[in-house]
A and B are shown apart, each in its own frame.
Chain A
Amino acid sequence: MNTIAAPAVGIGLRQPHYREVFERRPQLDFLEVHSENFFLDGGAAMHALERARAAYPISLHGVGLSLGSADGFAQAHLDKLKRLVDRVEPALVSEHLSWGSLGSRHFNDLLPLPHTREVLALLGERVDRVQSALKRPILVENVSSYVEFRDSAMTDTALLDELARRTGCGILFDVNNLYVNAVNFGFDPMARLAELSPAAVGEMHLAGHTVADGCLIDTHGARVCAEVWTLFAAACRRFGRKPTLIEWDTDLPALDVLLGEAATAAAIARRAHEDVHA
């Protein structure tokens, strides 16, 4: 129960859906939760996670470790994550190519990093540290961004691929994040797929965004758009069968909407696989 069969689709499990998921036991290959929602000693949330774990492989997706903070690393946060990983024995553990804290302040956001050799070296150390603490490889995800740094010397996809090569970590390729950035900064997202080594990709994320003032905002509050499905199909053809997740965090709809999106993802992944092997 702690590996995920391929091709696999899952959904982000959020509190309003707990009961329905436990009662209906929908056909899903895994569930993903935010690690930080379960840094607890006990209570109803931990009980729900144990129930979910008994029925599905679990992916722990972190949003607060702040791998890229220049001024320090939150060992206490890693300790809490380790306790949760030991408790849940998840199939996957992931974090982001981002930073969130400076000094004592935490922005609780996935802030973008400049893509430099310095950042690559820092993330290499941090990922090594996390992986040796957890005694397992993690996945690192490309983030959506609204600003670009003058100092960036490479793309985030190239940086992630090099990070994976150096540390043995996997890549969580968020298709929507790549698309959001492509629109916001005006580049061709298809070309970026070639920068990721298929073997390094360990999971894919799909989500929706909103458009405001000509800028795409990664809200995880809408259906996956047509362009992202197209990009996902191309990613499936290039990377092969990878666990794929429907992420929905704001304006959470009925569970069936998420299951419908998951079914669409599964169908696209299947077709892509048939295309490649035809």
Chain B
Amino acid sequence: MPDLLDIQRDLALGLLDAEDGSRAARRLVGDAGLLQRRLAIYRANAAVTAARALGAAYPVVRQVVGDAFFDRLAQACQRHVPSTSGDLFDYGAEFAGFVAEFPHTRSLPYLPDLARLEWAVHRAHGAADARDWDRQGLAHVAPAQQTAIRLAWAAGTAVVASAYPIARIWQIHQSDFEGAFEVDWSVRECALIGRDGFRVRVSAIRAGDAAFIASSLAGAALGACLEAALAADPDFDLGAVLGRLIASNLVCGFTTDKDD
């Protein structure tokens, strides 16, 4: 008698390969025609599952390309980079990379960056809730210690830099968007993604701010973050940027080497 692993390997081939269900059929009861129709039900389920999971993570990409095209895109993505987790919230991390290589979306060159932004939004939705912290402490760090400060960020905070106005594109596709549906396509935008209570906000920020936040999120100390920010934008204003980040609860703590 075949062992269970052999049976599951054969059934998996039947689920993946619409052309040839013969490996699966030898494990199953019924004639070839019936089994092809029955295996097709599982393949159709898989396509619906992929479209639903990716559609939940990428609602703006779905709006941009349309439902029918998105479903095909999701199916193609699933064949190329299948799910590896029983938790579908984890599925779709590679979607932006897949879209970048997909030949039929080349007329929408901003789509991969928009997808990267949406993945950050998706992860932020499930990120840990913000906790209170001692804001006064930051002002009391000795001047000699200040460049060694490492900021702690609210879970889900992310920056996506693009050659396209991706924050604007994302915003005008939100159901509660109010304002003119205008996009200045000449603008290169860096998008800041972060939780505000249970909402996820996306805003366009200056290149220097983005360089600063990206360095800090990667673990750099304040001195190195400041250098990165000034390289991107000579007018970078640390005090103003930090003030905004603290006020919006995206910065939610700090350490100095003294604490290590």
Contacts and interface: CB of A to CB of B under 8 A. Distances in A.
Interface string A86-110: 0000000000000111101111110
Given A101-B86, A217-B41, A114 B4 contact: yes
B8 A147 contact: no
A55 B5 CA distance: 44
Contacts of A182: none
Contacts of A107: 12, 15, 46, 83
Given A41-B155, A70-B3, A146-B41, A108 B126 contact: no
Nearest to A72: B5
Contact of B8 (A69, A148, A217): A69
A43 B198 contact: yes
Nearest to B37: A213
A47 B130 CA distance: 13
Contacts of B129: 41-43, 46-47
A40 B89 contact: yes
Interface in A105-155: 105-109, 111, 113-114, 116, 118-119, 122, 146-151
Contacts of A99: 8
Contacts of B15: 107, 111
B126 A42 contact: yes
B38 A40 contact: no
A37 B90 CA distance: 11
B88 A108 contact: yes
Given A105-B83, A147-B38, A43 B125 contact: yes
Contact of B128 (A41, A100, A114, A119): A41
Contacts of B45: 109
A118 B128 CA distance: 42
A71 B8 contact: yes
Interface size class of A (residues with CB under 8 A): 35 or more
Interface string B5-17: 1011101100100
B127 A215 contact: no
Interface in A18-67: 36-37, 39-47, 63-66
Nearest to A153: B1
Nearest to A15: B56
B83 to A, nearest CB: 5
Given A101-B86, A150-B27, A42 B38 contact: no
Interface stretch (B28-36, B67-75, B214-222, B235-243): B28-36
Interface in B106-140: 124-129
A231 B88 CA distance: 33
Interface in B12-67: 12, 15, 24, 26-30, 35, 37-39, 41-42, 45-46, 49, 53
Contacts of A114: 4, 7, 27
A273 interface: no
A108 B29 contact: no
A43 B86 contact: no
B174 interface: no
Given A106-B86, A147-B38, A42 B27 contact: no
B87 interface: yes
B155 A42 contact: yes
Contacts of A106: 82-86
A107 B125 CA distance: 24
Contacts of A116: 1, 4
Interface of A: 36-37, 39-47, 63-66, 68-71, 74, 77, 80, 99-102, 104-109, 111, 113-114, 116, 118-119, 122, 146-151, 212-213, 215, 217
Top 6 nearest A-B pairs (CB, nearest first) are A64-B86, A40-B126, A41-B128, A42-B129, A44-B198, A70-B5
22 contacts: A37-B89, A39-B89, A40-B127, A41-B128, A44-B198, A64-B88, A68-B4, A69-B8, A70-B8, A99-B8, A102-B9, A108-B83, A108-B88, A111-B11, A111-B15, A114-B7, A118-B3, A148-B28, A149-B27, A150-B28, A150-B29, A213-B37
Given A42-B129, A109-B46, A151-B2, 20 more contacts: A36-B87, A36-B89, A39-B87, A45-B125, A47-B198, A64-B86, A64-B87, A65-B86, A70-B4, A70-B5, A71-B5, A105-B12, A114-B7, A119-B4, A146-B38, A147-B11, A147-B35, A150-B26, A150-B28, A150-B29
